[in-house]
Amino acid sequence: MENNLWNYIQSVKNQSPLVHNITNFVVMNNTANALLAVGASPIMSHAKSEIKDMVSISNAVVINIGTLDEYWSDSMLIAAEEAHHTKKTWVLDPVGAGATAFRDEILSKLLEFKPTVIRGNASEIIALAKANKTITKGVDSTAESNEAITAAKYLVENFQSVVCISGATDIIIDDKEMYFVENGHPLMTKVTGLGCSASAIVGAFASIAENKTESTVAAMVLLGIAGELAEKNSAGPGSLQMNILDKLYNISEQEFFENVKVSKK
Ligand SMILES: Nc1ncnc2c1ncn2[C@@H]1O[C@H](COP(=O)(O)OP(=O)(O)O)[C@@H](O)[C@H]1O
Ligand SMILES: Cc1ncsc1CCOP(=O)(O)O
Ligand SMILES: [Mg+2]
């Protein structure tokens, strides 16, 4: 499996998929730079009048509700509907799911367009599945990833999505398998936008692959290893934010195979 994961990393560099992001103000720059670092081509766009055209020219759409409002939520719904109907890869990042009724209302509508992949932290996945109205502490998780497995399975079953629960262990679930990625570093939780970057990178990887589950695993392994290796050269979250971009860009085959930690159940 590890060889497949490395091959996805090369394919993204070679194909440079165009990834359309309707994302939050906090992380636009971070996620655009993360996509460039892995070899993809980002475009951030949310004007209702251009959404359908943008979806049609893109390889993937990433919808991130971090700072949504009534205008942006309309744009997101247009994009999700267009991606669904044109069978375009699209990723949902349910930032702050469960925190407000407005977010949950928009998320319920977005789910109807069956995201290819849903990537969120454990609290968000639990809240999204309404398994338990966990009060997500803003955008940070108050639960461990394994506590969200039941909720993730509910989303897989009801929306045919691949679900990635991120955390100390990233858990990637589809209707057949469950993957566990042990890469990453706790300091990554102190850099805003790394979860959003994970979702954007998942969009790039899933867009170039038939196997949406395995390509999602590859994206999470890449980000996790980049975080681990970057942390070794970082004095804190400020330098980690920059060093992780360098490692996403220049990770070597040796660094990948020496550090990858993934298992399947
Ligand atoms: N405790 C941890 N140990 C190692 N890696 C972590 C930990 N928590 C999160 N990560 C990594 O940080 C990145 C962001 O995940 P997460 O913090 O769960 O997303 P979000 O920012 O959306 O809450 C992921 O690559 C994840 O694997
Ligand atoms: C702090 C904050 N508030 C709204 S979006 C956002 C960024 C969340 O980024 P991530 O989920 O990657 O930590
Ligand atoms: Mg997040």
Amino acid 130: pLDDT: 86
* DSSP string for 72-117: HHHHHHHHHHHHHHTT-EEEEE-TTTTT-HHHHHHHHHHHTT--SE
Cα–Cα dist 174/40, whole Å: 25
**Which residues of the chain have a pLDDT value below 70?**
131-136
Q: What CATH number corresponds to the domain at position 120?
A: 3.40.1190.20
Beta strands in 138-203 (DSSP E): 162-166, 170-173, 178-181
Cα distance from N-terminal residue to C-terminal residue, the chain = 13
- Residue-range definition of the domain harbouring residue 180: 2-264
> How many angstroms separate the alpha carbon of residue 55 from the centre of ligand 3?
23
Tell me how far the alpha carbon of residue 96 lies from the centroid of ligand 1, in angstroms: 15
Residue length, the chain?
265
Among 166, 181, 199, 231, which is best to mutate for testing ligand 1, by the most ligand atoms less than 8 A from CB?
Answer: 166
Rounded to an integer, what distance in angstroms lies between the CA atom of residue 94 and that of residue 119? 7
| Helix, coil or strand: residue 20 | strand
CA 108 to ligand 3 centroid distance, Å: 18
Q: Which of 21, 22, 24, 188 to mutate for ligand 2's pocket (most ligand atoms within 8 Å of CB)? A: 24
pLDDT in the model for residue 104 = 94
Closest alpha carbon to 146 in 6, 248, 265: 265
Q: What is the whole-number distance in angstroms between the Cα of residue 233 and the centre of ligand 2?
A: 24
What is the token pair recorded at 116? 């290819």
Residue 184, ligand 1, Cβ within 6 A:
yes
Give, as residue ranges, everything with CB less than 5 Å from ion ligand 3: 95, 195
Which one, of 20, 25, 62, lies nearest residue 44 by Cα? Answer: 20
Measured CA to CA, the distance from residue 122 to residue 177 in angstroms comes to 18
Residue 173, pLDDT score: 98
Quote the pLDDT of residue 190.
98
Ligand 1 contact via 166 beta carbon (within 6 Å): yes
Domain count, the chain: 1
pLDDT of residue 142: 83
217 lines ligand 1 (CB under 6 A): no
